[in-house]
Structure 1
């Protein structure tokens, strides 16, 4: 129930949905004397959520900072825990793996293993395709690693979890709690992921990936309506709501 409810609420409260609902209400409530405020609300939301300067600033403040690679190289980790959420498992044909914008997660994980920083890659995540066992993302990624000759004796696949809290809880069945893990996920998702794994008893070293923000100086283009800004706000809202829901449910 929590899984379904969280997905539904997060969709309804996405910035693009809020803009659409405000303008839809403007056209529906034609006789409401305060109808003009719906138009103002829709325009205000559109202006805020398409402003890349605001989106970039808020997302940078939320996401985890890049890990210091030189410091991490001074240690070795038995397990690098890679959280899924980087492929399109519904795309045909099934003779290859289709990656999305989060592919940086697995690219960084492969690099960390090749440099000897992690010994074993633990891939966690089944996704929302509960009725299609062949589409569990951890299995899909395992197939990809086999195709590039990755040493599969150094891979552990966990394909039952549907969200971050389940990933953390199930991980304790495979990894001893006293082991410090190197946690690999998106920078925006890292605060919630670290909270879940620490709640499960793990000592966590974060390794954030997939940075949607930039560190460039302010430019005039950042204040023009931008689809990229809307995407950043969507990511941020998803994480804010996920973090808040997990906190209320006692998962953090």
Structure 2
């Protein structure tokens, strides 16, 4: 990750005091700091990678039996357990609920386990189901898959619940969508992307975008994670 990379470079600068090229480590660390905290660069690269927003008009013109929601939006380890704690990816669920309420999808299919070795009861899809129950969402229109541990398994296990002949609407983060679409296409699903969770902005260039910021570091971290994930999936033949 970018922050780790910067830290390791500067740590090497202090450790290798007698190395004749030591000064280049300091320069490299400074350059990496400038690049990875530059919001203009981070915003531009992340926008180029992520999937563009779906055309809602075209989406509404078609009916989808299933909206497939990928998990990764709650903190299942937080106490007390009488509520659901959401993170920044909660937009996935909010967009899914909007699509259901507008009649664009008939059934919400939630895919994701995420249980830990010590707690087998922490499947995130079940946590989300309990939240939907608490707000009186029509549970008879919800299907959960609680065994998958990653996007590959989400795509594979979906065939146990959904016919591959049906067109499905895939809902996940815009930065994660290229990898998710590849996995579902690999399993021969007829899938349409509905990306959510955008960390980028479309405002005009401003001076503040060139000042060091932690938001830029966050965007680069998301981008690095997806680049590495996509590359690993491609090498493994999952895409």
Shared fold (TM-score, shorter chain, > 0.5): yes
Residues 1:142 and 2:162 are matched in the alignment: no
Q: Separation in 1 of the partners of 2:238 and 2:126?
A: 26
SS state at 1:207 partner: strand
The residue that corresponds to 2:14 in the other structure is 27
Residues 1:74 and 2:61 are matched in the alignment: yes
Which of 15, 26, 29 is equivalent to 1:39?
26
SS state at 1:135 partner: coil
The residue that corresponds to 1:187 in the other structure is 174
The residue that corresponds to 1:50 in the other structure is 37
TM-aligned CA deviation for residue 54 of structure 1? 0.0
Map of 1:29-178 to 2, 5 A cutoff?
29-127=16-114, 129-178=116-165
TM-aligned CA deviation for residue 128 of structure 1? 5.3
TM superposition outliers: structure 1 runs of 4+ over 6 Å: none
Q: Does the aligned pair in 1 maintain the 2:173–2:197 contact within 8 Å? A: yes
Pair 1:130–1:168, CA change in 2 (3 A): farther
**Pairwise CA RMSD of aligned residues?**
0.8
The residue that corresponds to 2:198 in the other structure is 211
Normalised TM-score (structure 2): 0.98
The residue that corresponds to 1:4 in the other structure is none
The residue that corresponds to 1:239 in the other structure is 226
Q: Separation in 2 of the partners of 1:163 and 1:20?
A: 29
Q: Separation in 1 of the partners of 2:128 and 2:59?
A: 25
